[in-house]
Amino acid sequence: MALKNNIDILGTAGLFLTALFSPCCFPLFAFAASAFGFGSFEIFGGWTMWIFQAMVLITIVGLFISYRKHRCTYPLLVAFPSGLLVLYSIHFSSSYNWAYFSYAGMFGLFIATIWNYRRNKLHGYCSTCKVIDGQTIELQSEITCPHCGHRKKEMMPVDACQYFYECEKCKQVLKPKQGDCCVFCSYGSVKCPPVQANKKCC
């Protein structure tokens, strides 16, 4: 899976690592930090809260990038209130229990990240795929010439069917078989985008 589809995971991991290695600011993580020998050590010093907020922003940006591909709003619906809860705890909460608002926001972002990861896995993103009307469509197909057996990977047009294709080896011009709408449906490893999207052929 591409790195840009996992930015939220990096942000969430950074969020928890920042909290883990800042036990003075996040006492809930003090015990775990002590196990690593950081029980009384503030690794980020005065930058802790700035780094913490940056990780929240990275997580939400990553979730939004993924949303543009899988179009599932649920991770974002969890992430936005969680991010606002973290910001509220840092900037607006005057209560001694401000850290608990941060914990709630952190675990909300964690849940959103796991949810988003499952959606990405479900859609099986690849570099040659595109989401069309909520469906993931593979745009690359390996076409095999029936005359000479030559194979070549080609990118298929998204909104059209290709009726003719010239083999680069034997120079034969291929046409679709009877009942097929294009050469990719007849000789390709992947059907054309309209067929994948269960739409009428050209």
Structural domain includes residue 201: no
Residues 108-133: pLDDT tens digits? Answer: 989 999 888 887 776 655 668 887 77
Question: In terms of domains, do 151 and 59 share one?
Answer: no
Domain edge (last residue) among 72, 107, 123: 123
pLDDT in tens, 27-65: 666 555 555 555 555 555 667 778 888 888 889 888 888
Q: Which of 164, 138, 145, 133 is nearest to 71 (CA)?
A: 133
The pLDDT value given to residue 34: 57
82 & 160 share domain:
no
Do the domain assignments include residue 202? no
Global pTM reads 0.52
Domain boundary among 76, 106, 123: 123
Q: How many domains does the chain have?
A: 2
Residue 142: both structure tokens together: 């390996």
What pLDDT sits at residue 1? 45
Please list, residue by residue across 58-82, b when 16 or more beta carbons sit within 10 angstroms of its beta carbon and e when fewer do. Answer: bbbebbbbbbebbebeebbebbbbb
pLDDT of 136 > 60? The answer is: yes
The answer to whether residues 70 and 161 belong to one domain is no
Of 80, 100, 123, which residue constitutes the final position of a domain?
Answer: 123
Read off the pLDDT of each residue in 184-196 and give the average, rounded to a whole number: 91
**One-letter-per-residue 3-state SS of 140-158:** EEEEECCCCCCEEEEECCC
Measured distance CA(79)–CA(60) in Å, rounded: 7
Which domain, by its residues, includes 143? 130-196
pLDDT score for 173: 96
Cα dihedral 82, 87, 92, 94 sign:
positive
